[in-house]
Amino acid sequence: MSCLCPGLWNIQYNSVLNLNFAKQTNVIAFAGHFILVTPGRTVVEEENYTYTELRKITVWLKDFKIEFNENKSTAMLVSRRKRKERKEINAFLNYKLLKQVNKIKHLGISMVNKFKFREIIT
């Protein structure tokens, strides 16, 4: 990674953090990686929150002529309880369905959809 990368992030991508996200939405960005966390009581509620927030990001991307790689972007439904409803979430970025995963590794931490965190030392 070049020493220019943090500066380019600040110039080009930092404004996405200033979008008018709902108060229950958390946005985490570091080193060119971006995580959007939206809580919901049901899968349908979660999909609605996710759709609304990803739509804001899609508009922002179009306005700034930036593209996120949908093939590298994923969605994960995290739950502390056993759901009697479906266990997958339909999340769309740039009108494309994101791949559903059961585990995400971010900055050395593995997050599992059963609300467990494991530190990975590499």
- Dump pLDDT digits (tens) for 66-79: 777 778 888 888 87
Range of the domain at 13: 5-119
Percentage of the chain beyond pLDDT 70 is 77
Predicted confidence at residue 21, as pLDDT, reads 92
3-state secondary structure the chain: CCCCHHHHHHHHHHHHHHCCCCCCCEEEEECCEEEEECCCCCHHHHHHHHHHHHHHHHHHHHHCCCCCCCCCCEECCCCCCCCCCCCCCCCEECCEECEECCEEEECCEEEECCCEEEECCC
Tell me: pLDDT of 2 over 60. no
Number of domains in the chain: 1
